[in-house]
Amino acid sequence: MGGELVRKERRRHARIDFNLPIEIVGYEGSHVIKNFSPGGLLVQTQAASDLRTGDEIDLMIKLPLEKSAIQVRPRIAHVTGNAIGVEFVNLIPQHAMALEHCFHIFKHTIPQPK
């Protein structure tokens, strides 16, 4: 491989680029979903420096196909610069179905990240 590092993809779910403002409960500033999968989100946030891997946070997400916002409590998988990767844990069935439905509708129209 000529000194080139090969990184194994650890994600269990495909993801799509997404641009959707959300609320991180208890944190002021701008918070925007940058990519999305049924298993988690990448969120660009001004609060990244205040958050730690392993923390659980409360997110209010108004999905485009839902009438009202849903509140989820994901775990932070990583913090990188001004972004956090979160993993969904213990979703109630209605929220899991709403996220899955939204993902499957948009995955055919929104580019997948490289």
pTM above 0.85, yes or no: no
Domain regions of the chain by residue span: 17-106
- C-alpha–C-alpha distance, residues 45 and 102, integer Å: 22
pLDDT exceeds cutoff 70 at 9: no
Owner of token pair 């979703």: 91
- Kindly provide the b/e burial profile for residues 31-60, where b requires at least 16 CB atoms within 10 angstroms of the residue's own CB: bebbbbbbbbbbbbbebbeebeeeeebebe
pLDDT digits (tens, 9 = 90+) for 66-99: 899 999 999 999 999 999 999 999 999 999 999 9
CATH code of domain 17-106:
2.40.10.220
